[in-house]
Amino acid sequence: MALQINIDIPCGISISQAYAVVQGVGGSKTKCSIELRYYVSPAARDQGKMSAHTEYFEFRPSVTEFAANFIKQAYQHLKTLPAFANAIDC
């Protein structure tokens, strides 16, 4: 899973249709951290190229018996944030 989104990274570069991938989720049942990496395209990631930008987020995971795994919950959390309102699942 990944998200497609237009982003402006801090160095002043805009990336249209960036490919955003949750690289990792870590933490505990009370707080998880998300490492989100942006690539210029899915091919760039598949070819092992360096990400264009990395951001970090936090969320409180659900640990019920029927909850999705933490990576899926990370994507679900990101889509609740205003910055990801227009993100497309890919």
pLDDT tens by residue, 30-52: 999 999 999 999 999 999 999 99
- Structural domains in the chain (count): 1
Which distant-in-sequence residues (6+ apart) come within 8 Å of 79 by Cβ?
3, 85, 87
Residue 89 lies in a domain: no
Residue 21 lies in a domain: yes
List the one residue out of 57, 79, 60, 67 whose CA is nearest residue 2.
79
Residue 11 lies in a domain: yes
**Residue 22 structural domain:** 3-83
List the one residue out of 30, 65, 36, 64 whose CA is nearest residue 51.
36
How much is the average pLDDT of 77-83?
97
Residue 88 lies in a domain: no
**The pLDDT of residue 10:** 85
pTM for this prediction: 0.91
